Structure 1
Amino acid sequence: MDPAVLRVIFGHRIEKLTLLSGIPDTIEELNFAIKHQLNITCVFSLQYLDPDFDDFFSLHSTTQIKHKATVKVVTTEPVVLNLHPLSHNESYDGSVTSEQSFSPPSTSSMAQDSLDSSDSSSTIILSPNRNSQRKPWPMEFILPEFSVETEIILDRANEVYKKDGTLLRIPNIRSDILDKLAQTIYTYTAYPSSLQVLSVAEALIKTHPCLKDPGSSSGLSAWQTSIKYKMSNYRTKLRGFGIPDVTCNALKHKCPDDRKSAKNVKKARRAEVNYLPPYPAGEDEHSLEKTREELVSELKKKNNQKIVNDKMSKTFALRRHEVINQCPSVRAMKDRWPALFDCSQISAEFQRITTVPLEPRFMSSLDLHTPKLLKLFHAKGGALGQRLKNIMEPLEVSMCSSVERTREVVLRCLVEYLGEHGDDLIKEFNGTEDSEELEQLVVAITVTTKAEHSPSDNSKEVGVVIEGMEVVTGLGDIARACCLLLGLTYALNLDYPRQLKNTFEVFQKLFMELDASKLSKKVQSFKSKLLA
C-alpha cells in the first residue's frame, strides 16, 4: 500500500500528516495516528473537507478521504452533572432547570476524583461505562482539593515559605491531606507502585513547598512513607466494605500456603485499570451466572453480535473474579466463556481492562516505528546481523511487499534483535499440525502451511496456542496473532513467557504505551536506539 499524506487542521495549527501504510482502514487507527504524531492529549473527533460543498462534514469512515485530503480535529468536552442534595425544607417537584442540572467542566471538578461522603455536592462525569470507576494513572498527578481550613492554612504557609523559607509545623492538617490523597489515588489504583507514590509526593511538594520534609534533601521521603502506610490503612478500611480488589488479598481468602500479607498479592502489574471490578449495581454472582448461561445460548445464533457484546460487557466483573480469584485453566475458560476467544471480544476485553484499544494502537505503533526498526536491523552486524538479513530477504526481493508481510518480517526480526528466539514465539508446521507437539506448547503462534493449496493461494493458517490448546484460528497474518496473543495474556491474566519477556515488554510498554515509565535495562536500551 502506497504512503498517504493528509493536511490536518487543529486550532491555529496546520500540519502535514504522513501515513506510511496509506489511509487506515478504521477511524480508530486514524485517530491514533493523528493523536500520536501531533501530540494531542484531549478527546476529539474528525471532520473532512468535502470538495462538492467546500465545507467540513463529520468523518464517519476512512473511505471518505483520499491522499492529500484535508481533515479538521474538533475537540469535545465531557458532560459534567452536578448533583446537590435537597435541604430539609425543600421538596422535590420533579422539575429541574438546565441551570440547576448542568455546568461546564472546571479544573477543580475534574481534579476531584473521589466522592467524599462529607461533601454537600458530588460531581459525576458521564461515561459509556458507569460501573467503571478506575482511570489510567495520569502523566502528571493532580492534587485533590483539601478541606477549606486546610487550603487556607496551606495558602498562608506557602506565602511565608516564599518570603523566608519557613516550613509548616501544624501536624493537624496532615491527616486531612493524607485522607484526600488516599481517596484520589484509589480512583487510579488500590496498590500504587513506588514510582506512583513518588509522583504524588512530588506533586504535593511542588504545589505546597511549605510541606517539605526537613529530614531529607529532596523533602519527599517522609511524605512517601506516609502515603505508603496511609494506602495500606485505607485498603484495610475498604475491606470492611467488601471492595473486591482489596478483599481478595485478605488473609482469610488466601490458600493456607499463601497466608502472609506480602505473598501472592493480587494487584494490577501491567497497567490494568479495571483489574478486579465490583459487580454492577443490582447484580450478584447468581444473576450474572444466569446472564452467562444466556450468553452461551446467544452465541449459537447468527447475526447476534450486539446482544453478545452487551452480555459480555455486563458479565465482565464475574469473568474477572473467576480469572483472578480462581485461576482456571484455559480449557475451563473456553468451556465457560467461548465468546471470550472471538477476535473482536479479545480486543473488547483488553479495552475493558486497560481502557486502551488493542488492534488500532498495536498496528499503528508498529507501522510508525517500522522505518526506524528496519534501519536498526540493517545496521546490526555479526551473526545476529546475518540472521536478521536472512529474515528481511523477502522485503529485499519484492519491491511491493504488502503491509501484512512487512509487519511479519519486522516482528520476526524484533524477537531476534532483543536477544530471544523466534522459534519460541512462532511455530511452523508443514501440511498438518503435530498434535503431540501442539500439546507441549505453553504459549505460541502457529503457522501451518497447507500442502494442497496452490502457490497463488493464501496457503498459511495462523493461530494461537495456549496451554497446549488452539484457542484462536484463522487469523491470517502474524502481526494480528501477536496483537491478539498480547490481548489474551490480559484477558486470562497470564504471565509473559520467560523466554520472550523482552518481546512482550516491547509489545506492552512501547507499542501499547502501558506502564511505559518502568523499563528493563534491555528494553530501555532498545527504546533509546529506537527514538534516537
Structure 2
Amino acid sequence: MLLRIYISDANVRRFLLIEVPTSVDQLKTLLEEKLQLKKGFELQFEDPDFDNALCNLHSIDELPAEKAVLRVVWAIEPSSSVQDISDASSVSSLDTASRSSSFGSIQSPTNLRSVAQWPSPFDVPTFSLDVELRLQKANEIYKETKKPLNVRRDMKSEILNKLAQTIFEIKAYPDACEIESVASALVQKHPCLTEPGAGSGWDGWMMSIKFKLGNYRAKLRDAGCSEVNINRKRERGQVEGLKGRMKKSKRAEVNFLPDHPAGQSDESLEKERVSIVEETRKKRIDATLVRQKMEATFSLRRKEVVEVEPLVEEIRERWPALFYEDEVIPFPMQVCLVLSVPFMYFILLFFYYYLFQDTDAEDNYTKYVKIGIVSLLKDDVAAAASLPDVTNIAIILEEAVVLRDIADLPTAFAYLFGLLYSINMEYPKELKYTFEAMQKIFMDLGGSCSARVQSLKIKLC
C-alpha cells in the first residue's frame, strides 16, 4: 500500500507499506520508527466515499486498498522555547509553561490549505468508481494498441471537476506551468487520455483545466468564497473611486484570504482577538495560548488586512502579537512560505540599509522610511577602519520600528518578508524588481517572473 502522509504543512512524505499492519496502533508504531515521529499523535485519512473529506482512522479496513492519504494530528503540540521579545509595548518575556485552561473552546482553523508548495509531481486524485474502471480498461487497451480513449462528455466533466477541486485546495490561482504539470501528470497516470497529434499529448487538457478552474472559482464566488470574491471585476455602474478589483496573491501565499472555520463568525473571532490583546498586556505572556489564538483568528486577520488595508500602526494596535518574532517566523506553517533557510546560504545584495549612531533619536532615522532594515552601530572612532560593530538590527515599516533586537541580517530579511505578507503590504514601487528577484530567484517562491527579473535569472543561471 502506498501512503501519502502529511506530517506538517511543510513536511509531506511518501511511504510504501510492504506489509499492511493489522491495526492502527501498529501503523502508528511503524510510522514512529520509519519517519522518526514522536508519540502523541492521531491519524486521519481522506475518505473517498465522502469526496476525500478527512475522517479519524479507527480501523485499517477503512483505508482504500492501494493508495491512501493520511494526516498526522498532534494531540499535544511541541512547546516552543522561551525567548525574550522587546517591542513597542515593552513586553518583557513569554511564559510557555502551560496552556491556559480557557483555551479549551478554541479550535484551530480546519479550512486552511495544507500543501507547503506546489507538488512535484502533481498527485492526480482518484475519480469516481465508474470513471476509474473505464480508465483502467482504456489504459490496458492503449498499452497494446496505442489507441486513445474517446472521452465521453460526462466522463470528461467528472475528471475536470475533480481536478479543479484538487487544484483549488492547493492554490486558487495557479500559473501556466502549474496547470501544465497537472495535465502532464494526468496523461502520465492515464496514458489513454493522450491526445493524438504532434503536440505534447496534453495541450487540450491544459486548456480544459484552465477554463474549468475558472468556472469553479465563479461557482465559489457565487457561494461567497472570500478568496475569489475579493478578486471581483468592476461592475457596470459602480461608483467611481471605489476599488472594483483587488489583486490576487502574487507572493506564493497559499492561504491568501480563507473563509472562517466552520462555526465561527466575525463576532466570535473578534472576541478572541480582544482576548489576545489582553494577554499581550500581561507581564508574563502565555505564548502557547497566544500562538493558538492567533492561528484560530487567522481568517479574521487576513480579511481585515486585505479588505480594509489599515495602516501598520492600526494593525499593531489591534494585533500586537503579529509583530512578535515567534509569530512572524511560524507564518510559513499557515501560508506555506519558507523564508529563513535560503537566506542563510547566499550573499545578500540588499537595499535600504540605514546606518545610524546609538545617540540618534528614533524619529530621526525612521522619518520618511516606508520599508527599511536598520543597523545600530557602536560609536567607536578607534574602530573606524575595521568592520562595524553592530549592536542591534531592527525593521521599520511606515516610519515606525516594528521589530527590533534581531540576531543577524539574513534573519531580518526573513522577518521582513514575513511581515510584508502578514500585513499584506505592497512592495515599494522603486524596489519592486529587487523584491521580486529576492522572492522568485533566491527564495524560489511564486510563479513566472517579469521580463526584467527573468533576464537576471537567466544570467545568474
Check conservation: 1:425, 1:500, Cα contact below 8 A. no
Residues 434-480 of structure 1, C-alpha deviations (whole Å, 9 max, x = no match):
73562311211112335499979966332111122221122243222
Could you say what secondary structure the match of 2:439 adopts? helix
Q: Displacement of 1:253 after TM fit?
A: 9.4
Q: Displacement of 1:78 after TM fit?
A: 7.8
Q: Displacement of 1:193 after TM fit?
A: 1.3
Q: Displacement of 1:498 after TM fit?
A: 4.4
Q: Work out the CA distance in 1 between the residues paired with 2:215 and 2:242.
A: 19
Structure 2 residues not aligned, in runs of 5+ = 1-9, 16-32, 51-55, 75-107
> Larger RCO: Structure 1 or Structure 2 (Cα < 8 Å, ≥ 6 residues apart)?
2
Q: Displacement of 1:165 after TM fit?
A: 2.9
Task: Give 2:110's aligned residue.
Answer: 131
Check conservation: 2:343, 2:414, Cα contact below 8 A. no
Q: Work out the CA distance in 2 between the residues paired with 1:502 and 1:365.
A: 19
Per the alignment, do residues 466 and 82 of structure 1 end up closer, same or farther by CA in structure 2, a change over 3 Å counting?
closer
2:76 is aligned with 1:99: no
Task: Give 2:3's aligned residue.
Answer: none
Check conservation: 1:258, 1:264, Cα contact below 8 A. no
Higher radius of gyration, 1 or 2:
1
Q: Work out the CA distance in 2 between the residues paired with 1:454 and 1:274.
A: 51
Check conservation: 1:285, 1:318, Cα contact below 8 A. yes
Per the alignment, do residues 526 and 297 of structure 1 end up closer, same or farther by CA in structure 2, a change over 3 Å counting?
farther
* Code of the aligned partner of 1:267: K
Structure 1 residues not aligned, in runs of 5+ = 1-34, 45-71, 87-95, 111-123, 371-409, 416-421
Alignment of 1:21-32 (within 5 A): none
2:445 is aligned with 1:514: yes
Task: Give 2:68's aligned residue.
Answer: 109
Check conservation: 1:429, 1:448, Cα contact below 8 A. yes
Task: Give 2:416's aligned residue.
Answer: 485
Alignment of 1:261-276 (within 5 A): 264-276=245-257
Q: Displacement of 1:182 after TM fit?
A: 0.9
TM-score computed with the length of structure 2 as normaliser:
0.72
Q: Identity of paired residues, percent?
A: 32
Task: Give 2:395's aligned residue.
Answer: 464
Q: Work out the CA distance in 2 between the residues paired with 1:213 and 1:257.
A: 47
Q: Work out the CA distance in 2 between the residues paired with 1:217 and 1:474.
A: 56
Deviates more, 1:265-274 or 1:221-230: 265-274
The alignment yields a C-alpha RMSD, in angstroms, of 3.8
2:254 is aligned with 1:323: no
Check conservation: 1:446, 1:465, Cα contact below 8 A. yes
Per the alignment, do residues 350 and 328 of structure 1 end up closer, same or farther by CA in structure 2, a change over 3 Å counting?
farther
Match of 1:449 among 358, 372, 377: 377
Could you say what secondary structure the match of 2:373 adopts? strand
More helix by share: 1
Match of 1:190 among 131, 156, 172: 172
Could you say what secondary structure the match of 2:148 adopts? coil
Q: Displacement of 1:518 after TM fit?
A: 5.8
Task: Give 1:474's aligned residue.
Answer: 405
Per the alignment, do residues 107 and 297 of structure 1 end up closer, same or farther by CA in structure 2, a change over 3 Å counting?
farther
2:13 is aligned with 1:42: yes
Match of 2:326 among 344, 351, 362: 344
* Code of the aligned partner of 1:463: A
Task: Give 1:174's aligned residue.
Answer: 156
Task: Give 1:200's aligned residue.
Answer: 182
Task: Give 2:425's aligned residue.
Answer: 494
* Code of the aligned partner of 1:131: T
Task: Give 1:525's aligned residue.
Answer: 458
Match of 1:153 among 124, 127, 134: 134
Residues 294-322 of structure 1, C-alpha deviations (whole Å, 9 max, x = no match):
11111011222222212211211100011
Q: Work out the CA distance in 1 between the residues paired with 2:197 and 2:432.
A: 40
2:418 is aligned with 1:439: no
TM-score computed with the length of structure 1 as normaliser:
0.63
Q: Work out the CA distance in 2 between the residues paired with 1:365 and 1:105.
A: 38
Per the alignment, do residues 291 and 133 of structure 1 end up closer, same or farther by CA in structure 2, a change over 3 Å counting?
closer
Check conservation: 2:372, 2:395, Cα contact below 8 A. yes
